[in-house]
């Protein structure tokens, strides 16, 4: 699995070509990405590393269709994203991607179950199926029995598990994780990383994770390092630890 990226015959799942992103205009313009080429293959576990301001989060947002490139091409399974409407992008986010954020981003005063059901509501899944699938997803992250709990009644690790369950409930192709352990203590962080690694190994879920922490990145098979809006290194780490 770790050598998936080396097989030239396999088509990339996500493909960036010459992607730039410029914030602001004129004198104040700032180029966050300066022409990125990046291919992510199915089943890969990629860590995107770099200092803050290196462009790694911007790249992640473009991969997740939360943001659009200023120039360059982005293809998902061979389909050009630049030409798609906002509504189609929303559907892609709903069906193809699952997001996990540093700050969990659960809806306040909304139960774990309801948070996990949200993507299914937007996908138009019936009430009964929503209930069933959300329960399954919560059970798969080890939160069976906590369906009624509100976010403020859960620990940080549990909240991130809810977020992971929400990301997985629509059976996406890619899990995009932005500093998933950033708000957690190191022990809970390791538990979350174990869960993410397990998803990659057992379900073959493609994972792209942004982090600035080398220890966390060590779980990933491939490291892409950003420096000042460009990729400074991209390589496999056969010794990736579990």
Residues 204-233 that bind another protein (CB under 8 A): none
Both structure tokens of 179: 């500093």
Per CB under 8 A, the list member of 83, 109, 152, 242 interacting with another protein is 109
DSSP 8-class letter at 173: S
What DSSP character marks residue 212?
A: S
Number of residues that bind another protein (CB under 8 A): 26
- Taking residue 94's Cβ as centre, other Cβ atoms within 10 Å add up to 18
Q: How far is CA 193 from CA 11, 33, 57, 88, 144, in A?
A: 27, 28, 19, 31, 19
d(CA 206, CA 200): 6
- Residues 17-76 close enough to bind another protein by CB under 8 A: 61, 64, 66-67
CB closer to another protein, 130 vs 223: 130
Closest to 227 in 3D by CA, of 55, 29, 2: 55
CA–CA distance, 196 with 37 (Å, rounded to integer): 25
**Residue 9 beta carbon to another protein: minimum distance, rounded to whole angstroms:** 32
Q: Is position 94 an interface residue for another protein (rule: CB under 8 A)?
A: yes
If the CB atoms of residues 165 and 221 are measured against another protein, the closer one turns out to be: 165
Span from 74-82, 87-95, 181-189, 192-200 in contact with another protein (CB under 8 A): 87-95
Per CB under 8 A, the list member of 113, 140, 160, 170 interacting with another protein is: 170
Contact positions vs another protein (CB under 8 A) = 61, 64, 66-67, 86-87, 90-91, 93-95, 99, 101, 105-109, 118-119, 121-124, 166, 170
């Amino acid at each position: 699995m770790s050598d998936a990226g080396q097989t030239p015959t396999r088509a990339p799942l996500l493909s960036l070509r010459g992607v730039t992103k410029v914030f602001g205009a004129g004198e104040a313009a700032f180029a966050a990405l300066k022409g990125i080429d990046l291919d992510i293959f199915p089943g890969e576990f990629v860590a995107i590393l770099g200092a803050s301001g290196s462009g790694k989060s911007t790249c992640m947002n473009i991969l997740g269709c939360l943001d659009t490139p200023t120039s360059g091409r982005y293809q998902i399974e061979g389909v050009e994203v630049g030409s798609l409407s906002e509504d189609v992008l929303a559907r892609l986010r709903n069906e193809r991607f699952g997001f996990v954020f540093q700050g969990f981003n659960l809806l306040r005063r909304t139960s774990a179950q309801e948070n996990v059901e949200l993507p299914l509501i937007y996908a138009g899944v019936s009430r009964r199926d929503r209930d069933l699938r959300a329960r399954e997803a919560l059970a798969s992250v080890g939160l069976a029995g906590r369906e009624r709990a509100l976010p403020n009644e859960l620990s940080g690790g549990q909240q991130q598990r809810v977020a992971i369950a929400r990301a997985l409930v629509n059976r996406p192709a890619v899990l995009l994780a932005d500093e998933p352990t950033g708000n957690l203590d190191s022990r809970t962080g390791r538990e979350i990383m174990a869960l993410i690694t397990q998803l990659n190994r057992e379900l073959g879920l493609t994972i792209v994770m942004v982090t600035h922490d080398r220890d966390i990145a060590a779980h990933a098979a491939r490291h892409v390092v950003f420096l000042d809006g460009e990729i400074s290194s991209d390589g496999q780490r056969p010794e990736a630890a579990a």
